[in-house]
Structure 1
Amino acid sequence: MDAPEPDTPFSAVSAQTTKFGRIFQSYLDKSTPFTAYRWTGTGVLFLLFALRIFFAQGWYIVAYSLGIYLLNLFLAFLSPKFDPSLEQDEGMEDGTAGGLPTKEEDEFRPFVRRLPEFKFWYSTTKAIALAFACSWSEIFNLPVFWPVLLVYWLILFGLTMRRQIQHMIKYRYVPFTVGKTRYSAK
């Protein structure tokens, strides 16, 4: 019969990591209903990063990379979980159309995001914190002409958002709940 393994330093580190992971997850779970506070904190962190880039006059590649990543996250946040163009193609084969109901007997399916709001916030906050940390290392301060990066990012933003808006219009979905009627218990 094998004797139990003695406690190793690695198992102690693993136990501590697991413990801190559970504590961190509990704080994340408690912060879930406080959407405005979470986004305000992320906005302050982003403002600190922007001030760091502005006053340091460097790390433009880090800022550009962050901008591309945040654009990618935003597009996933705006996109439906199930692409209506693919569902429509599949629906045409079997005679039913995907997306919003067009007939009374069609089933209504609410908008479900590809990237939920909490995961969008969490990924955004992690990315900004990582970019802020990278802005303190000289390795990431590559010499570039920043106006070219800015113009390229603006063109990329314009083209991708135009394509996304056209997709939203074509398949008639609205990813926001602003202005929709909300009912509450009296």
Structure 2
Amino acid sequence: MEGVPGDGDSAAAWLPLAKWKNDFSRAFQHYLDRSTPHSVGRWMGTLGVALIYVLRVYYLQGFYIISYGLGIYVLNLLIGFLSPKVDPELEVMDGASLPTRGSDEFRPFIRRLPEFKFWYSFTKAFCVAFVMTFFSVFDVPVFWPILLFYWIVLFVLTMKRQILHMIKYRYIPFSIGKQKYTEEVIPSSSSIED
């Protein structure tokens, strides 16, 4: 049995497209890898993209449903970023858990969503939302103050739950620089007598 005539022609036509896709993917990954240690620059670029999106929505006076969906997605990313990889409430401990007492051994905080993936997903979400603003089918007329109010209530309730979880299991999802230890000043016997 012979194949369908022209199969070789169609495969040859797709070959340059596949090569271009592969080259683009490799170059994109190369630049992503090079940007990894430059977190401040990455976040500044992302804030620029977010500002452009906000200005576009403001000047168009529309696309509030897209903005609401973007806000829910960003809130979901933020929860993943602030949560430990192993949640003490949900998963059976296999030896790797957060310390709950001062006498427990120090274990570093490992995020459920690492910073780089958080940044990448955050940036990609704003880029996708920006592209969606060019299609009028996504501009559903809504009363935007209700959406904003509902999102604020959702944000406050979610953050309250997350903060209570942090307090209950005594973890802080941020570390600012290297921790510095100082010597404790032990009062001398002469200062006690005075």
The bucket for the TM-score relative to the shorter chain is 0.7 to 0.9
1:67-90 deviation line (CA, Å, top 9, x unaligned): 000000011000001102235xx3
Is residue 2:27 matched to residue 1:48? no
- Equivalent residue, structure 2, for 1:81: 85
Please state whether the residue corresponding to 1:37 is helix, strand or coil.
helix
Give the corresponding residue for 1:63: 67
Identity %: 53
What is the aligned residue count? 173
Is 2:131 aligned against 1:151? no
User: Would you say the 8 A contact 1:101–1:107 is kept in 2?
Assistant: no
Residue 64 of structure 2 aligns with an amino acid whose one-letter code is Y
Residues 1:31 and 2:35 are matched in the alignment:
yes
- Equivalent residue for 1:178, pick from 176, 181, 184: 176
Residue 114 of structure 1 aligns to a residue in which SS?
Answer: coil
Are positions 1:16 and 2:15 aligned together?
no
- Aligned pairs for 1:57-136 (under 5 A) are 57-87=61-91, 90=92, 98-100=97-99, 102=101, 107-136=105-134
* Amino acid of the structure 1 residue aligned with 2:99: L
TM-fit CA distance, 1:12: 2.6
Gaps of 5+ in 1: none
Q: Secondary structure at the match of 2:89?
A: helix
AA paired with 1:9? A
What do you get for the CA RMSD once the two structures are aligned? 2.4
**Cα deviation, residue 19, structure 1:** 1.3
* Partner amino acid, structure 1, of 2:70: L
SS at match of 1:85: coil
Match of 1:161 in 2: 159
| 1:61-117 Cα shifts (integer Å, max 9, x gaps) | 010010000000011000001102235xx35xx9x894206475x543210000000
Give the TM-score of the pair, scaled to structure 2. 0.81
Larger radius of gyration: 2
| Compared CA separation, residues 97 and 175, structure 1 to 2 (3 A) | closer
* Superposition TM-score, scaled by structure 1 size: 0.85
**In structure 2, what residue type is equivalent to 1:178?**
I
